[in-house]
């Protein structure tokens, strides 16, 4: 396959690039026509200096970088303030946003072993500081519906769960997907001045009607498309076209590509990543089809576009043929407007 190019300049607003991965990331961007990448996981609020050096240094025009929280001393009464101060220092050093991964709600725990709830007031100082600094937060809450449903031969994502058994979240002691999403939405409602970019189509691409209701209800909620093209692509293209047009100012193009000097993760980490990355035809056979599928989904009305991430669903996608002005917003303009430093 030839190298695909997006129809307009584009920023991938959802990537994970390791500290040794900047060169490979630039090569990847040049190969698939991307202007910049937002590295969501460049460090933590207490340890971002290396990330700043790599992604904010000589390559600052190709990257934006974000930091995660550090849950190490959660029981310390000063935890919230320490995290907020760390965030402020990171933002002053150039960080574009705060990012939190699915451990918030599913993994981060108090010393007692109890899970930290997403809407626990201990996090309020962090949310308030985000609002004050004018930086958004990328928030990942719960996972695909199938990961929260019983593990069985008929689970829709069985193959993916076989590769990642630790992603089975239907277990005693873990909240349901709906409890997690409701807790996230309470935080969004409680902090109207702060922008929340709810990744993976607000972690509910299975039900775009509900996501639309949320976007109506919470003007400070944004979404990205990362690693959910397959879920979006199974819905009726006209419905998804209307969804994108209606919320054209609130959607960011993102892929969830992961990069180091040794591998490229195409939406989902796989045991074969390192092996395939070494192949001479890696770009033609893997990288190009992956990006081509996502560009075609947004830009064309093609039927039967091959899945960008077959392990997340090996069914064809139906393109939603967005108008040029909407495409420009989703590819680049919304990210530039919302994220400082781009
Ligand atoms: Zn991600």
- CA–CA separation, 54 vs 227, rounded Å? 25
Residues 79 and 106: their CA atoms lie apart, in Å, by 19
- Gap from CA of 218 to ligand 1 centroid (Å): 23
The total domain count for the chain is: 1
Residue 97 CA to ligand 1 center (angstroms) comes to 14
Confirm whether 23 is domain-assigned.
Answer: yes
d(CA 267, CA 229): 10
Chain segment 7-41, per-residue pLDDT in tens: 999 999 999 999 999 999 999 999 999 999 999 99
User: What's phi and psi for 56, nearest 5 deg?
Assistant: -110, 0
CA 322 to the chain's CA centroid:
21
What is the whole-number distance in angstroms between the Cα of residue 299 and the centre of ligand 1? 23
- Residue 6: inside a domain, yes or no? no
Q: For residue 5, tell me if it sits in a domain.
A: no
Residue 99 Cα to ligand 1 middle (Å): 10
Q: Work out the pLDDT band at 340, boundaries 50, 70, 90.
A: confident
Q: Is residue 244 part of a domain?
A: yes
Supply the range of the domain harboring residue 268.
11-338
- Measured in Å, residue 155 CA sits from the centre of ligand 1 at 22
Domain membership of residue 40 (yes or no) is yes
Give the distance (Å) from ligand 1 centre to CA of residue 191.
23
Question: How close is the Cα of 71 to the center of ligand 1, in Å?
Answer: 19
pLDDT digits (tens, 9 = 90+) for 49-61: 999 999 998 899 9
User: What's 76's domain CATH number?
Assistant: 3.20.20.140
- Best mean pLDDT range from 58-62, 163-167, 332-336: 332-336
C-alpha of residue 30 to centroid of ligand 1, in Å:
21
Structural domain contains residue 4: no
Query: Does a structural domain hold residue 2?
Result: no
pLDDT in tens, 171-196: 999 999 999 999 999 999 999 999 99
Q: How far is the CA of 225 from the centre of ligand 1 (A)?
A: 11
Ligand 1 midpoint to CA 324 (Å) = 27
How many angstroms is it from 257 CA to the middle of ligand 1? 8
CB 64 within 8 Å of CB 96: yes
Q: How far is the CA of 68 from the centre of ligand 1 (A)?
A: 12
Work out the number of other CB atoms within 10 angstroms of the CB of residue 210.
Answer: 12
CB 190 within 8 A of CB 218: no
| C-alpha of residue 253 to centroid of ligand 1, in Å | 13
> What average pLDDT does range 305-311 have in this prediction?
95
1 domain residue, yes or no: no
Predicted pLDDT of residue 342: 84
How far, in Å, from the CA of 256 to the mean position of ligand 1? 5
For ligand 1, the distance from its centroid to the CA atom of residue 259, given in whole angstroms, is 11
pTM, 2 dp: 0.96
The sheet with strand 36-39 has its strands ordered as 251-252, 221-224, 196-198, 137-139, 97-100, 63-67, 36-39, 11-17, 257-259, 264-266
């Amino acid at each position: 396959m030839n190298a695909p190019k997006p129809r307009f300049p584009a920023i991938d607003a959802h990537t994970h690039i390791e500290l040794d991965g900047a060169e490979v990331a630039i090569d990847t961007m040049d190969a698939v026509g991307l202007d910049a990448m937002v590295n969501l996981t460049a460090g933590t609020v207490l340890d971002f200096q290396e990330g700043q050096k790599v992604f904010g240094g000589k390559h600052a025009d190709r990257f934006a970088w974000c930091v995660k929280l550090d849950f190490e001393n959660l029981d310390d009464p000063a935890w919230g303030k320490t995290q907020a101060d760390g965030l402020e220092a990171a933002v002053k050093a150039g960080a574009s946003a705060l990012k939190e991964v699915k451990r918030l709600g599913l993994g981060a725990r108090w010393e007692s072993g109890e899970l930290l709830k997403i809407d626990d007031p201990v996090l309020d100082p962090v949310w308030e500081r985000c609002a004050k600094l004018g930086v958004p937060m990328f928030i990942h809450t719960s996972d695909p519906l199938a990961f929260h449903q019983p593990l069985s031969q008929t689970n829709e994502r069985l193959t993916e769960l076989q590769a990642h058994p630790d992603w089975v979240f239907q277990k005693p002691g873990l909240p349901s997907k709906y409890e997690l999403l409701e807790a996230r939405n309470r935080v969004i409602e409680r902090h109207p001045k702060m922008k929340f970019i709810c990744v993976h189509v607000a972690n509910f691409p299975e039900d775009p009607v509900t996501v639309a209701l949320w976007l109506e209800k919470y003007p400070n909620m944004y979404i990205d498309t990362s690693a959910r093209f397959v879920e979006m692509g199974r819905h009726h293209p006209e419905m998804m076209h209307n969804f994108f047009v209606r919320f054209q100012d609130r959607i960011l193009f993102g892929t969830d590509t992961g990069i180091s000097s040794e591998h490229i993760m195409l939406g989902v980490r796989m045991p074969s990543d390192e092996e395939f990355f070494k192949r001479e035809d890696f770009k033609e056979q893997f990288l190009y089809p992956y990006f081509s599928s996502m560009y075609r989904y947004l830009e064309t009305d093609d039927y039967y576009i091959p899945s960008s991430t077959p392990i997340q669903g090996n069914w064809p996608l139906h393109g939603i043929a967005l108008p040029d002005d909407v495409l420009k917003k989703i590819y680049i303009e919304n990210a530039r407007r919302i994220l400082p430093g781009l």
